[in-house]
Structure 1
Amino acid sequence: MLKLKNILCGAALLTGTWGIAQQTPAPRQTASVLITGAVAHIGNGSTINNSAIGFKDGKITYAGPLSGVTTGAYDRVIDASGKHVYPGFIAANSTLGLVEVDAVRASNDQSDTGDLIPHVRSIVAYNSESKVVESCRPNGILMAQVAPRGGLISGTSSVVQLDAWNWEDAAIKTDDGIHLHWPSAFRSKGWGFSGPSEFVPNKDYEKEIGEIRTFISGAKTYLSGPKSPENLPYQAVSGLFDGSQKLYVNVDGEKEIADVVRFAKTNGIRHMVVVGGNEAWKVADLLVENDVPVILSRPHRLPSGEDDNVKQPYLLAKMLSDKGVLVGLEMSGAMERMNTRNLPFYAGTFAAYGLDKEKAVQLITGNNARILGIDAFAGTLETGKDATLFISEGDALDMRTNSIPHAYIQGREISLESHQTQLWKRYMGKYEAGQ
């Protein structure tokens, strides 16, 4: 009876969650649009005051000073004087659309069984009608890398735009990379009220790395031979060696980062990205030398070491950028799907602690686009790129002024309604009516 009750409660929760689907995706752009008078944040570190951003058939046709364009050449002109226009923000290493309700196992598709499963593709589990995805768009998050979790090699990620009928429509770059969780050289020894009571060397560190080495060695041997019998995990990592895919390595420690950089170089893995990188600043020169970018964890947390500056997480982006490391921002961690809507405010925190404001914008626009390999068509406001952008009433990295009246994905003006905005309007109406 108890089991039946749990099943019925779960079904009711799912019905309540998915009973009202996401807004119908916007239709293809038919009328050309010109946004005038705004401060344009290009996404490459520069701005244009009194700008004009024009787009037609989903592509940007003009991005420059207002004085350089004929407004009459566009079907619709939006006066954005006093406002700001940004490229769509990009959430890297997210699990958007893979989990809807944490407490409902049937809605959780972020991980699969096994430790070495690079052939598991997160994109086929992506739920384009997720209400969590819908909650991100009003803050300017219009694209995301959907990444798997769990195991040593978790699977393959893809990059999506956040206004689609299904995963096929959503995908803008499929199977962009393989996600690896590098073992830690240290382990916690017991837990106290405030966290791990002590860290001790991980005696199994070399053994755990050995599993990864053995897998990669086996894959290289398989890929150079007759490929029989068929081996899906080995086939899935072929892009690491020909450069068509990147290896995203979840790793934080100084020693571990140095070890994995050498591992990738030794094994002919052409493109590697550090994900997390709490101690990446200690090996910044090594990262620059090997052209390894870092997607930093969100900064609202305590430092990883007890002797670190308590503000260390806030300073990381500036420290690495000053050293010449290409830096982006990722979203893994506690309540990561719900917190993804706060992506621009995490970038704003880096700006508050020394990073130039436009470089902070770059973290979640141009830089994330470069790291994810979509910079040829996304990430900056430049002619020929996708018209995935938005207008903000104020500073989009400041939660007090991030108020978005218009947002576009590939030129299509999307709905900015969400479950939260609907509830706000409903109850504001109630109180305004004096009920």
Structure 2
Amino acid sequence: MKNLKQILVGVAFLFGIHAIAQQTPATKQTGTITITGATAHIGNGTILENSTLVFENGKITAIGNQTTPAKGRIIDAKGKHVYPGFIAPAKPLGLVEVDAVRASNDDDEIGDFIPNIRSLIAYNAESKVVESMRPNGVLLGQIAPQGGRISGTSSIVQFDAWNWEDAAVKVDDGIHLHWPSTFRRGRWWQGEPRGFLPNKDYTKDVDEVTAFYNNSKAYGKSRTETKNEAFNAMKGLFDGSQKLYVYANGEKEIIDAVTSAKESGVKEVVLVGGYEAYKIIPFLKKYNISVLVQHTHSLPKKADDDYDLPYKLPKLLVDGGLLVALENSSTSNFQTRNLPFYAGQLVAQGMEKETALQLITGNTAKILGIDASYGTLEIGKSATLFISEGDALDMRTNVLTHAFIDGRELSLETHQTELWKRYMEKYSR
């Protein structure tokens, strides 16, 4: 009887695992695939009508008009659109499964200055949240740690893998710093007024960051045998092999963050958030600062801001000549699947549609340093792309028929599509 119980428990466990398991990752591309007749959105601002796109061994080998020879398996995409895979930067995708369940959250570690914490090794390739990205064309992401002052080191992954080793596209690409704010929320439980109050410790907080920069740089030049993992993890910032992603929104905070980093010898700085970046565009251009600007579906932060500032902010920065990409600053990971529709919002603000597309494809790839392989549909680059029945920036028409990562054809089924089919059948009776 005991053995029978164990067998039944084991069978129930296996069925449970099957019920929650991800789609099996696609196998390596073996034959040539040609997509014909589609409108190709290259990702660099150009469009190719009635295109022919050929890829083999995971790489694009030809792209042109209908005179380009078709080979191998042919996908007729006439009347449809083909896009490079969308890229989601600066999010803890695969690190947080259910916000309200602490045991499923692995995006933060104890400590304020922990650049040596690597997000990649905690990445859950079988995350249901990650799985839900693919049907909207979001196929790559920068997995960023959260919390503390210096949260840790991010890596870039593709969203169809068994594990983090298979998923990795670029390992340990950058350090993520949450810059101190000049204001803080009032601690009403200690008798302080509600709302925002000046942060009296701002100068002290900035000095701590600057000291950490300087100590890390000095450690990299020293010959000490004492190992300091935190200082050692910062060396890539000073030799240019890694980028510093600074989260800051206020005008003063942005200026202080960039100035401090540059004066300390940090080679490349990327601004994340940048709510008031439009006020200091010449300053950002002077230091060649790229911006991962907050998503457009949000409310103004201040009472005297334009009511539509979040909607038009990316366009203001692009018009100012900055290299800009969109990031989803929403606290909920699952909202990242709406990334193409944040870009679509910019079209309503007067931005050209192909320019808006660049903010989630080519521009993002450049900022993350993966543009040699991803972000645009060009010969020699990865065949990470998808076919949509309509405009991918419009939630009404972005219906994917095919998707590929490095030439591997993905399943577009998720737990959400399964539930949708189940209940559509239920209510259609």
Q: What TM-score, normalized to structure 1?
A: 0.92
Work out whether 1:375 is the aligned partner of 2:374: no
- 1:64-213 residue pairs with structure 2 within 5 A? 64-67=64-67, 69-71=68-70, 74-189=71-186, 198-213=195-210
Quick one: structure 1 residues 18 and 228, their matched pair in 2 at CA, closer, same or farther if it must change by over 3 Å?
farther
Moved over 6 A (4+): 15-18
Quick one: structure 1 residues 17 and 180, their matched pair in 2 at CA, closer, same or farther if it must change by over 3 Å?
farther
Q: Deviations over 1:151-208 (max 9, x none)?
A: 00000000000000100000000100000000011223468xxxx9643322111100
Task: State the shift of 1:352 in Å.
Answer: 1.4
Q: Deviations over 1:286-314 (max 9, x none)?
A: 11111100001111111122111010011
What is the distance in 1 between the residues matched to 2:247 and 2:28?
37
1:289 is aligned to 286
2:335 is aligned to 339
Work out whether 1:384 is the aligned partner of 2:380: yes
Structure 1 residue runs without a partner (length 5+): 1-11
Work out whether 1:27 is the aligned partner of 2:27: yes
Specify which of 346, 353, 366 is matched with residue 350 of structure 1.
Answer: 346
Work out whether 1:329 is the aligned partner of 2:326: yes
1:7 is aligned to none
Q: Over the residues paired in the alignment, what is the CA RMSD in angstroms?
A: 1.6
Quick one: structure 1 residues 17 and 247, their matched pair in 2 at CA, closer, same or farther if it must change by over 3 Å?
farther
Q: Deviations over 1:380-416 (max 9, x none)?
A: 0000000000000000010000000000000000000
Q: Deviations over 1:242-271 (max 9, x none)?
A: 000000000000111111111121011000
What is the distance in 1 between the residues matched to 2:252 and 2:126?
41
Quick one: structure 1 residues 104 and 390, their matched pair in 2 at CA, closer, same or farther if it must change by over 3 Å?
same
One-letter identity of the residue aligned with 2:219: Y
What is the distance in 1 between the residues matched to 2:419 and 2:186?
46
What is the distance in 2 between the residues matched to 1:251 and 1:82?
43
1:309 is aligned to 306
What is the distance in 1 between the residues matched to 2:427 and 2:298?
37
One-letter identity of the residue aligned with 2:33: V
Specify which of 256, 261, 264 is matched with residue 258 of structure 2.
Answer: 261
One-letter identity of the residue aligned with 1:378: Y
Task: State the shift of 1:351 in Å.
Answer: 1.8
Identity %: 59
Task: State the shift of 1:359 in Å.
Answer: 1.0
Quick one: structure 1 residues 306 and 287, their matched pair in 2 at CA, closer, same or farther if it must change by over 3 Å?
same
Q: Select between 16-25 and 255-264 the one with higher mean Cα deviation.
A: 16-25
1:394 is aligned to 390
What is the distance in 2 between the residues matched to 1:126 and 1:227?
33
What is the distance in 2 between the residues matched to 1:287 and 1:40?
33
One-letter identity of the residue aligned with 2:346: F
One-letter identity of the residue aligned with 1:268: G
What is the distance in 2 between the residues matched to 1:227 and 1:153?
24
One-letter identity of the residue aligned with 2:46: S
Q: Provide the secondary structure at the position in 2 that maps to 1:143.
A: strand
One-letter identity of the residue aligned with 2:424: M
Task: State the shift of 1:17 in Å.
Answer: 8.7
Q: What TM-score, normalized to structure 2?
A: 0.93
Task: State the shift of 1:122 in Å.
Answer: 0.3
Structure 2 residue runs without a partner (length 5+): 1-11
Task: State the shift of 1:334 in Å.
Answer: 2.4
Q: Provide the secondary structure at the position in 2 that maps to 1:129.
A: coil
